[in-house]
Amino acid sequence: MSNFTEMDCYLFGQATHYDIYKKMGAHLMEQDGKEGVCFNVWAPHATAVFVIGDFNGWNESSDQMVRVQPKEMGVYELFVPGVKKGAIYKYLIYTQDGRKLYKADPYANYAQLRPETASVVTDISNFKWTDDAWMKERQEKAKTDLYGQPMAIYEVHFGSWMRHMGREDEGFYTYRELAKSLVSYVKEMGYTHIELMGISEYPFDGSWGYQVTGYYAPTSRYGTPEDFMYFVDYLHQNDIGVILDWVPAHFPKDVNGLGRFDGEALYEDPNPQRGEHPHWGTYVFDYGRKEVSNFLIANALYWVEQYHIDGLRMDAVASMIHLDYGREYGKWSSNIYGSNIHLEAVEFLKHLNSMMKKRNPDVLMIAEESTAYSHVTGDVNKDSLGFDYKWNMGWMNDFLEYMARDPKYRQWDYDKLLFSMMYAYSEQYTLVFSHDEVVHGKGSMIAKMPGEYEEKFANLRLAYGYMTCHPGKKLLFMGQDIGEFDEWNENRSVEWDLLTYEKHQCLNDLVKDLNHFYAKHKALYETDFDHEGYEWINNISANENVIVFQKKSGKEFIV
C-alpha cells in the first residue's frame, strides 16, 4: 500500500496539503514488519527516479522508485528497508532527453555540511519541548491585542554574532552554545525578540542564507535540527521571541537544488521573463503552479508548527508582487490586464497569510516590501495581502538621509522628519535599521553620522532615541548598538572589544535603557497604529532642527 495516497495527490494538486512535508521527503517507518525509510519526491517530467545513498553504495540501479497513482501527478515513492537515521542520500533523476541529474531532497529535514550537497535522513519528532508557558502566553496576548505589545527586535546573523577564537575550524558557535550566550545579552539589553537571518540550508556563506537549497532543513553549519529546536526552546524559556527570515521570492541555480529539478522548469516559472531574476542570478518560483505554492505554504507552516517559530519575516516581497522588479523595459511580461502586478504571487501571499492566521493566529507575518504597494498589512478579506507588519523602508531612508547632513544644514531636510507621519497609519509598520543598511559600502550606523568622533556618537544617540519614540515596532542589527565603525562582515564576529572604550559602552548603555524604558511605558507601543496615540506639539521649527510631539495611551502620555 502506498504511503502517498490519492487523497494526498488531490490535496497537493489543490495547494491545500498543508502537512505535505509529513509525506514528501524521507521518513523512518515500518512496513511489513521491516524498519526502514519511505522516500517520496515530486518529479513529473522524469522518465525514471532512483534513490542512491551510502546505504546502497550509491548504486544507481538498485533502488528504483515507483510512480504512484494517479501517475500524471508525478509523485515517486519507494520504501527501502534497513535505512537508518543518519543515512546520506540523493535522488537520481533521468530526464526526458536522457540526462542524469543528482538532486538533493527538496523536503529533506537535514543536509550535509557544505561543500557536500546530499540530504541526510533524520527524525524531528522526538524533541521534548519545555516552552508551554511561553506558547500559552503568546496565544493569550494574541487574543487580547496582537499589535499592542512592545517589540524591540535584535537582528542576528548566526555565524558572526560571536565566534570561538584561535580554533582551526571556522569557530562557529553551535545552536546550543549560542542560545546561552545570546540569551544573556538580549535579556540584559531589553530586546523582546531576535530575528535570525537565513537559517534554511544554503550553499554559499556570502549569500547570508538568502539563496536557499534546503527549505525544510536548518543549516548544518551550527548543528542538527534537534539542536536548533533546543535554541528556540531555550529562548522561549527566557521570554524571548524568535523570528526567522524566510525566502519564498527566489532560489539559486545550484545543480543539486530545485532548479530544473526533473530536467525542465518545475519549481521555477517556465517564462524566462518571470522565472529568472537578473539582479541575483536566481530562479523565481512559479506561484501559479499549485504544487509549488503548496511546497512554500507548507514550508512556512513547518517552521512555525514544528520549530515553534514566533514570526516569519518574508524577504524581497516587492520582487514577488512586481513583474518588472529589477528588470529593464521590454524584458518583463505583464499580467493578463497589462499591468506589472504578479497576480499569482499576490494570490499566493493571501493564501499563505490567511492559512497561517487560521492555524496560528498568534504568529507574526512580516513583509520586507520596499515600494508604495498599498494594503500590505491588514485583513485578507479586505483586499490586503494579510501581513501583520511591513518594514518601513521609507522612514529609514528619509531619516538616515536627514541624520547624515551636518546639523548646520539639516533645516533644508526638515520635511524628511515630518513626512513619515503623513503615512504612519496607512500600514502597520516596523522601523528598521537592518543588516541591509550596514553593508556594500553603505557604512555602519555610526559611520553614517556627521561630525568628529564625539559628534558621531551624539548623533547616533539622538537617532536611537527618536526611533524609540516614533510610532512603529523596532528592529536594530547586531553590532550597531555598540557603535561598530566597520561595516558588517559575515566572516568576523561582532567587535565586542569596543565595549572597553567609554563612548561605545555608553552607547550600549543608552540602547539598553531605551529598550527597558520603551517596554515599561504603554504610550510608546500600545497605540502604535492608532491616530489618537500621537499628537504634534511643534513641527514648524526647521531653523532650530526641533520637533516636539507626545505619545499617549490611556492616561499615560510622554512628551
Catalytic residues: 315, 368
Using CB atoms within 10 A of its CB, is residue 347 exposed (0-12), middle (13-18) or buried (19+)? middle
Question: SS3 for 173-189, per residue?
Answer: CCHHHHHHHHHHHHHHH
Long-range Cβ pairs for the range 502-511 (8 Å, 24+): 503/453, 503/454, 503/457, 506/457, 507/446, 507/457, 507/460, 507/461, 507/481, 507/482, 507/483, 508/189, 508/481, 508/482, 508/483, 510/461, 510/464, 510/465, 511/189, 511/464, 511/476, 511/481
**Partners of residue 391 on adjacent β-strands:** 430
Q: In angstroms, rounded to a whole number, what is the distance separating the alpha carbons of residues 184 and 296?
A: 34
Distance of alpha carbon 233 from alpha carbon 381, whole angstroms = 34
Residue among 478, 492, 489, 392 nearest 439 (CA) = 489
Q: HEC string of 469-531?
A: HCCCEEEEECCCCCCCCCCCCCCCCCCHHHHHCHHHHHHHHHHHHHHHHHHHCHHHCCCCCCH
The dihedral formed by the CA atoms of 79, 82, 84 and 89, expressed in degrees to the nearest 10? -60
- The answer for 275, left when phi > 0, alpha when psi is -120 to 50, beta otherwise, is alpha
Question: CA-CA distance, 489 to 479, in Å (whole number)?
Answer: 11
Q: What is the dihedral of CA 105, 106, 109, 114, to 10 degrees?
A: 70
Q: Which three cell numbers stand for residue 290?
A: 499549485
In angstroms, the CA 480 to CA 438 distance is: 9
φ, ψ (nearest 5 deg) of residue 172: -65, 140
| Residue at grid coordinates 531574476 | 277
